[in-house]
Chains A and B, each alone.
Chain A
């Protein structure tokens, strides 16, 4: 009997009307109840019976991104993940200012909270077509295929602002269906309200902590790997030297 791992539509961590008046119940009904739902349903149809069946959502996203040559399931899988993440990025009575490590990093990496805000607004207003704006913690990785960056730069291990087209994700604006019913073409108002009234800095802080821990763990593992590789290299060099000296011995003096 084949195992069908079916994804489910995860509800937002608040009631549909609790973001009123900044994001209306009607917007949530459509954006969560219909758009998000159809990404989930289509993903389930696409995945069933394929090699992606049984993988976690993150695994499907990475496998179907296929290093840039995206497979059909990518758009739906990534949009499901992006929307889960987006709903959790907000809360009733959100907004205000972050605190703790998050605020320290924002001030360290952007200069000030207001500069970060300006960059986020710029990133989203210059996103042409559908897409997302993100606040992301950049580890020491290349943007392509999550490869290790051989040339670490000062942009590593810090907070950055990014924007991505369509379903691509590296966190927090959406298609016009996220704001059209409430804001029509006033995208700038939507972004401002999101920052002032909706964003959940608690969630963002918690994610940052996880991201930093993960990045540090990865760095430690890679350091260990490098040391082992170097040891291996030293070992093999030693063998060669031994052979060389062997040869030396056989050479006439």
Chain B
């Protein structure tokens, strides 16, 4: 194993993969545990010389997401590159390495009453995985997603070149914004080893209001909530109770204690239907089980079309939950036999009419191999060309992303 020997020569922690090291059900040849960006570069350069394919992993919480990859030779496991490099509370920025778990980062930031304004939708997720897959939860209405908060990164290209993009200041238009290009790129363009984020203060007061809303009232109710000037941080819906013709609605208010009190009174009136301060723990969990055991979908649509699209999905037997305030919903398929290719097409047509799309997030490998995970992708030709520039030999996360990228 020439590759193995070459890595050991550079004092890189590498070992042959053994059962248990599978990535999405497939056993790689080699597991590497680099200690820093330089070692990641050495691994990628060595793999390039060997023509080896490479997969990237953090804590492995989302390996059952996306299209199943082909055979992988080398896994670059970033979990040891896990330091918080710099937190500047006065500048509201933090630089963290890719292997830092999001929960650890939030705990550290919390000591300064600051936060990365994202929900941890996948327990155990690391900074690198967060950027690679761009998951989002209810608070995206308030602060957007990773793409809106990531201001700088360090990237190792498939040939081992180390590059930085962005910087440490929030306001910066020097050069292309590679942070956005890399966000949600599923590790197919390079290995992110370090990232700088914009932070937000933790609000002094936080309150969820929930209401059990009859479906026929839902469109008008959501419209009035969204059109209010109460600046909710989240507006969530859940169709699990649809058997009785109702939808659960949860609205998050954040701010000063007095401000939240005043807004909660007005919002309670808007929500009606016995709205009350309630437990909305469900909002930060996808409606589907993670880890390749249940099919989970992401459905996006224009904000004004949320109720219609959600109803259509529910009529197909899906449990829908997500951000009505931004038009980003998630859906669980109870039984994988329920999601036929025809169903998926119907749903995709519905979402497309509403300016959105449907992707398969998680699910059994066989399902993700058989169905079209991504659906129609606009701009695919230019995406292929970007992939070809960054990774001409298609060795990085081969086949994991859109259009076979």
Our verdict on whether A and B bind, yes or no, reads no
Residues of A in contact with B (beta carbons under 8 Å apart): none
